[in-house]
Each structure stands twice: as structure tokens, then as C-alpha cells.
Homo-oligomer: A and B are copies of this chain.
Amino acid sequence: MKEEKNFSEFFAMNGGNGPLSYAKNSSYQKAALDGSKAMVSEAIAYKFDVKKLSSSTPYRIADLGCSIGPNTFAAVKNIIEAVEIKYHSHGLESSVPEFQVFFNDHASNDFNTLFSSLPPDRQYFAVGVPGSFHGRLFPEASLHFVHSSYSLHWLSKLPEEVLDTNSPSWNKGKIHYSGAPNGALEAYQTQFRKDMMSFLNARAQELVPDGLMALLIALVPNGTTPPESFICLLYELLGSSLMDMASKGLVSEAKLHSFNLPIYYASPEELESLVEENGYFSIEKMVPMTNQMKHGITIGNSKLCVLHIRAGVEQLIKEHFGNEIIDELFNHYADKVAAESSFIFKQDHLDNFFEQFVLLKRKVSH
């Protein structure tokens, strides 16, 4: 239960409610979430057995990587409504359980903002859980439903080799594996594999038998890794923006060479094979999602896109490069994205990045 104090503590999204906050810059994630709501409801309708919940037990839900809202509140509300409907459909109105909801994110997440924006009319007991979801967070067999949206692409830490000048995986002059030498990609893949195994092992202990886990995860198509996706192109441009600043002496070369983004997008096949190898969960559903906002946000409004990227990676960049470069970096970055937007947001670059809805069920015995 000891939480490793590492790099991963700086992965929290921008806090507060200001114009640059994650709370105000997560409409893309929200659109994906909206699309998955019906699938979550369906999962509960068909896969949750009301008879297996003892009448004295509350229904416990965890949202892992919840950030600071408002998306997490919408996700939780949807889950609770689906459970209630399930009870009603069995004529068990009077047996609807109490709900306890565990909002999880790194200890550096802005829980103060999360707590102050909890819906006042919520019908559940709200709780915050600080810590990395790559380790254990909850007692054994204490959760009934785990939800995690847009969080599994964050690695628990950066694979060390990509910063090691003596390694074949050294990711020279890049901040991400996209467009990088092959060794860097493999290092990222290996780290993702380790992280998914830790994640699945921890959840296997924490979920009750038959407990459900709904993951909304950002992926790239099978067999195209690393594909030219708009998101990877956006990270490449962020890297070249940092390089521009280094060449002007505004960012130290050494700092640039010791920085990489701990973000990895797997393919559906890769994800599926990891779940099967892990063995604790059956895959109940795995379908790509339609994100209604993808087209509108990206081509129509590159500024909005920059704000989304900024809300996600600003803390990480601040921690490494210092506060003072941030505004200039993102202004310069916005110009570069605007200049190249017709290339970045080409249809096939849009198609090469999508969200997958994955429903897993904890096997009763393993």
C-alpha cells in the first residue's frame, strides 16, 4: 500500500476552475464519455445480477483517474441510474442499495476543486482516493463497478531507456515515441504492458466476483503502430516547439533531452491480448466509439485543441522546465498548430486515433 513517490505524481491535470483548467478543457473527453453512457447502462442491465448484492451492502463504484470534474460526475450519475433502473425493472424498488462513490486520482490531483464541485443533489456518499491506480487502492473484494475514462494511456512512469544516451532506445531530440526510432516505441510498449498488468492485477483483487469494469481508452488502429494520428502529430509539434525554444536559448538543451511524455496509445489487439494473458477478467464487450466532437474540435478550432493538450500536460512540463516558459511555449505551439492544421487534421490522421469502450467482468474463479 506504500505509494511510490515518483514521476507519476506530476501527471495530474490542470486544477482549479480557470480558463486553462482541465474542468474547462475536457469537452473532447466528455463527448467520448457521452458516447459510452449507453454502453455502461446496457452493461449493468445485462451483466449485473441484483441477487448477488446482499441487502446490507452498499453498491461501491470507483472512477479511476477522475481528475476534477465535471466529466466524472456525469459518468457516476449514469452508472447509478442504470443500477436503479435494474432494481426497478425487477420490481425491487425498495431494495435499491445505498451508493458509495470513490473518486480516484494521483495525490497531486486538485481534490479541493473536485470536492467543492460535487453535485449538491448527489444521491451517493462521495469519497476521494489519492494514489496511483497502477497499485492497490481498495480493500479486497470491496468494489462492484470500476470506471476509468481517458486515463490508461498515461504510463505510471517513463521507460528509463528513452532518456539513456547509451541505450538503443534513446529517444534523441523527441519528446514522444511518435516519429521516433523503433527502440523508443518498444520501450514505451514494454512499460504499457507492465502498467496494464499491475492495473488488472490490482483491480482483480479489489472487485467482487462478477464485478464489472468499464474502460474508455484512447487507441490507435491495429497494425499501424506508430500511426500518423493527429494526437501523435500534436505531440510531435509540442516537441518541436520546445526545440525551437531551446535553439533560442529559452530552454536548456539538457532539460529537453531529459524529457519525454509518459503517454502511450495501444491498439485494440494489444489491449485484448494483455487482458487475456492476465486472465482475471472476461472481455464482455470491446467496441470503437464514435466521438461526435472529434471532427468539430480539431479541424474547426485548433485553439481549442491546444487548450485541451495544455490542460493535460502543463503540470508535467512545469515540473520539468519551470513555470516561466509555459505561456510562451503554448503561444508558440498554438501558432505552429494553426499553421499546420490542414495537415494534422486530415481525415486519415483523425481516423488513426479513436476511443474504445471495453467492458470487463471479474471471473468468479481464477
Interface of A with B (CB < 8 Å)?
1-3, 5, 56, 58, 98, 100, 102, 107-108, 110-112, 115-116, 118, 120-131, 136-142
Report yes or no: B126 in contact with A115, Cβ–Cβ below 8 A: no
> Which secondary structure characterizes the binding site on chain A?
loop
Least CB distance from A277 to B in Å reads 27
Beyond A1-B125, A111-B112, A125-B1, is A118–B137 a contact (Cβ under 8 Å)?
no
A59 closest partner in B (C-beta): B139
Bound complex: CA of A110 vs CA of B110, how far in Å? 10
Report yes or no: A130 in contact with B130, Cβ–Cβ below 8 A: no
User: Which 4 interchain pairs have the tightest Cβ spacing?
Assistant: A58-B139, A115-B130, A128-B128, A98-B139
Report yes or no: A127 in contact with B102, Cβ–Cβ below 8 A: yes
Beyond A108-B116, A116-B108, is A1–B124 a contact (Cβ under 8 Å)?
yes
Report yes or no: A120 in contact with B58, Cβ–Cβ below 8 A: no
Report yes or no: B127 in contact with A129, Cβ–Cβ below 8 A: yes
Least CB distance from A124 to B in Å reads 7
Chain B residues positioned under 8 Å from A115 (CB to CB):
107, 111, 128, 130
Chain B residues positioned under 8 Å from A3 (CB to CB):
118, 120
Chain B residues positioned under 8 Å from A116 (CB to CB):
107-108
Chain B residues positioned under 8 Å from A98 (CB to CB):
139-140
